[in-house]
Chain A
Amino acid sequence: MTFTFFFQNVVNALQWGSFYALIALGYAMVYSILMLFNFAHGDIFMVGSYIGFGVATGLLYLVTSGFIPLPHWLVLVLTIVISMFLTSFVGVIVERIGYRPLRNAPRASAAITGLMIGIILETGNLALLGARRLNFPSLIMSRTYEIGGVFVTNKKILVVLVSIGLMLALDQFVRKTKWGMAMRAMSYDFVVVPLMGVSIDVIAPLTFAIGSGLAAAGGVLYGIAYPILDPYMGILIGWKAFVAAILGGRGSIMGAALAGFLLGFIEIFVAMIFPSTLRDLIAFSIVLAILTFRPYGFFGKPYSAKLRL
């Protein structure tokens, strides 16, 4: 294995891990504050990608028809921002309709609700747009740079930089703002949070909104990197991001992001060495082995929630 080949794979793994990380953040945030896995989250990624498709198509139409002369980079930025914004409402609606009525229900009911919402989003999309796959409009001209024998496309750079930028922004939000503080408090003891005058009905939808916005960013970036959309595109990537969230450890938001990247690295490097049909088999055997030795994940701590005051 040559050095350049190795670094080529590092670049690929960074991009691949970015998607997992962006989705895993939403899983981890919701789990850490509400003790529930939002199993619809992979499908919210899918919805985000479709919303991105709609926004990009609309903006490009306005530009080419001469209505609003926007530079290309601005179309790209607006697509990401508007898609994140719109998809965050999908998250809020999912919380409001799907999870809030079940807040005191057994956790299994909430998990099943997530699966059902996921199926509704997939089949709803199918009913609305048909089984035809969609081509994500090209928002940037692909350029390839060669750095010491390693090929890097501008799309890969975009994916990785935007992802890392969003993660750092989230980290600041969670650490510095009062909403972030409330989220951290909820991850420690959500029962007692209302006694601080904080409404869980504010923090829970906010958390869903942020998680969904990040998934939408992932969806748009995914559409830019792999421009074919279909209603089931969120399932496998969603499950893998869920694995990353577990691997990161409960309550550790940044742990989920790092584990997302780690999972990207494991998959890419397994595929580098073994036939790619064995990729998931070997990659997830490695994950299983890691969890055997670190059952709380990398950054999780043994924890038992107090479920009432």
Chain B
Amino acid sequence: MLLEVKNLRVSYGNIKALHGIDFQVDEGEIVCIIGANGAGKSTTLRAISRMVEVEEGTQMTFMGKDMLKYKPEKVVSELGISHVPEGRRLFGNLTVMENLKLATFARKDKEKIKKDMERMFSIFPRLEERKNQEAGTLSGGEQQMLAVARAYMSAQRVMLLDEPSMGLAPKLMLSMFDSLAEISREGTTILLVEQNARLALKFAQRGYVLETGNLVIEGKSEDLLNDPEVKKAYLGG
């Protein structure tokens, strides 16, 4: 198992966000976590990135290593887990190229960086066209492309994606998921959280349903798509 999470518990002050959830992600998989707003989806990704503190009793291992010993920047540079955060969080004052280069800050494999950059430009040609433009001036779709490409440049063993469909027109949404499928084809494992359950389940092989801090259903995507409860609650009947 690549990533194994047991009894993940997170609180913000007195508010419990995650009540001890278990899940796993295997090498090369595409896994999604679906759920309503506030269910704890983003918190789950932040916990893996070590951007929020987890509570006693939480166990997270990555390739057998205890993740709790890693700082956020080491999760990226040593474990190879990148994170596209909620709201994209691009550096609007930096150019497209600078955003991508900054993501390689800790990397020393120059040749591979060059190859990765070329790969991102071939998947997202718009980014190459706009490489000298400040990220803050990009359209929403382009910003999402840059957020994904930037994360990929930082680490590509696993990508954590927080609502890649957010704010995109339906057509752009589909092409974004095509690009993500393209990225996963060369071995990048993907864990994404989505409110758009139908889209996410069509894209992923497996899924979890998160409800107010608890994982309530898990299974293969096609099973979840046909599950009456999931249908009723998340797929609009």
Could you tell me if B101 and A198 are in contact, using CB atoms closer than 8 angstroms?
no
Contact with B along A290-309 (1 / 0, CB 8 A): 00000000000000001001
Known: A182-B102, A309-B85. A194 touches B51 (CB 8 A): yes
CB-based contact B86/A309 at 8 Å: yes
Grouping DSSP codes into helix (H, G, I), strand (E, B) and loop, the B interface class, with mixed when no group exceeds half, is: loop
Q: Of the candidates A182, A184, A194, A306, which one forms a contact with B76 in the assembled complex, judged by CB atoms under 8 Å apart? A: A194
Is A187 an interface residue when CB atoms closer than 8 A count as contact? Answer: yes
Convert A59-97 into 0s and 1s, putting 1 for each residue whose CB lies closer than 8 angstroms to a CB of B. 000000000000000000000000000000000000000
Contact between chains at B77 and A197 (CB < 8 Å): yes
Q: Is the CB of A184 within 8 A of B73?
A: no
The SS class assigned to the A binding surface is: helix
Complex interface residues of chain B between 99 and 114 (CB less than 8 A to chain A)? 101-107
Q: In the complex, are the beta carbons of A195 and B85 less than 8 A apart?
A: yes
Determine whether the beta carbon of B89 is less than 8 Å from that of A198.
no
The residue on A at minimum CB distance from B92 is A188
Return the chain B residue nearest A185 by Cβ. B91
Contact at A184–B103, with CB atoms within 8 Å? no
Taking CB atoms, residues of chain A closer than 8 Å to B91 are 184-185, 188-189
What residue of chain A has the Cβ atom nearest to residue B81's Cβ? A195
A161 sits at the interface (CB 8 A): no
- Rounded to whole angstroms, the CA-CA distance of A197 and B155 in the bound complex is 9
Interface pair B51/A184, CB less than 8 Å apart: no
Report A-chain residues with C-beta under 8 Å of the C-beta of B22: none
A197 x B89 contact (CB < 8 A): no
B94 contacts the other chain (Cβ, under 8 Å)? yes
- Are B51 and A181 in touch, CB under 8 angstroms? no
| Distance to closest chain A CB from B144 (angstroms) | 15
How far in angstroms is the closest Cβ of chain B from A144?
A: 45
Whether B71 pairs with A195 at a CB distance below 8 angstroms is no
Please report the total number of B residues contacting A with Cβ < 8 Å: 30
Q: Which of B93, B106, B150, B151 contacts A198 (CB 8 A)?
A: B106
Query: From residue A198, how far is it (CB to closest CB) to chain B in Å?
Result: 5
CA distance A296 to B8 in the complex (A): 43
Q: Does A132 make an interface contact (CB < 8 A)?
A: no
Q: Which of A178, A195, A196, A197 contacts B51 (CB 8 A)?
A: A195
Nearest A residue (CB) for B86: A309
B98 at interface (Cβ–Cβ under 8 A)? yes
Please provide the chain A residues from 265 to 293 with a CB less than 8 Å away from any CB of chain B in the complex: none
A198 — which chain B residues lie within 8 A by C-beta? 73, 102, 105-106
B154: which of A184, A189, A195, A251 is its contact (CB, 8 Å)?
A: A195
Is B188 among interface residues, defined by CB-CB distance under 8 A? no
Task: Decide: B94 and A309 in contact? CB cutoff 8 A.
Answer: no
B63 → A minimal CB distance (Å): 18
Verify A196–B102 contact, CB threshold 8 A.
yes
Q: In chain B, residues 107-154, which have Cβ atoms closer than 8 Å to a Cβ of chain A?
A: 107, 150-151, 154
Asked whether any CB of chain A lies closer than 8 Å to the CB of B9, the reply is no
Question: Which residue from chain A places its CB closest to the CB of B153 in the assembled complex?
Answer: A196
* Interchain CB contact under 8 A, B72 and A194: yes
Q: Are A197 and B103 in touch, CB under 8 angstroms?
A: yes
In angstroms, Cα B85 to Cα A185, docked, is 15
Contact A309 B46 (CB under 8 A): yes
Least CB distance, B158 to chain A, in whole angstroms: 13
A121 in the interface (beta carbon within 8 A)? no
Within 8 A of B (CB), among A165-210: 178, 181-182, 184-185, 187-189, 191-192, 194-200
B221 contacts A by Cβ under 8 Å: no
Q: Is the CB of B94 within 8 A of A197?
A: no
Within 8 A of A (CB), among B79-93: 82-83, 85-86, 89, 91-93
- Please state if A195 and B76 are interface contacts (CB–CB under 8 Å): yes
A187 to B98, CA, bound (A): 14
Expressed in whole angstroms, the Cα–Cα distance for A2 and B155 within the complex equals 65
Once A195-B49, A197-B107 are accepted as A-B contacts, the answer to whether A185 and B154 lie under 8 Å apart by CB is no
Contacts of B150 in A (CB 8 A): 196
Q: Determine how close the nearest CB of chain B comes to the CB of A206; give it in whole angstroms.
A: 12
A residues in contact with B49, CB < 8 Å: 195, 309
Partner of B102 from the list A178, A187, A200, A306 (CB cut-off 8 Å) is A178
Given contacts A182-B102, A192-B89, A196-B150, 12 further A-B pairs with CB under 8 A are A178-B101, A181-B94, A181-B98, A184-B94, A185-B91, A191-B89, A196-B73, A197-B73, A197-B155, A200-B73, A309-B49, A309-B51
**Can you spell out 29 A-B residue pairs with CB atoms less than 8 angstroms apart?**
A178-B102, A178-B105, A181-B102, A182-B105, A184-B91, A184-B94, A184-B98, A185-B91, A185-B94, A185-B102, A189-B89, A191-B89, A192-B89, A194-B71, A195-B76, A195-B83, A195-B89, A195-B151, A196-B73, A196-B102, A196-B103, A196-B150, A196-B154, A197-B106, A197-B107, A199-B71, A306-B89, A309-B49, A309-B86
Contact surface of A with B, Cβ cutoff 8 Å: 178, 181-182, 184-185, 187-189, 191-192, 194-200, 251, 306, 309
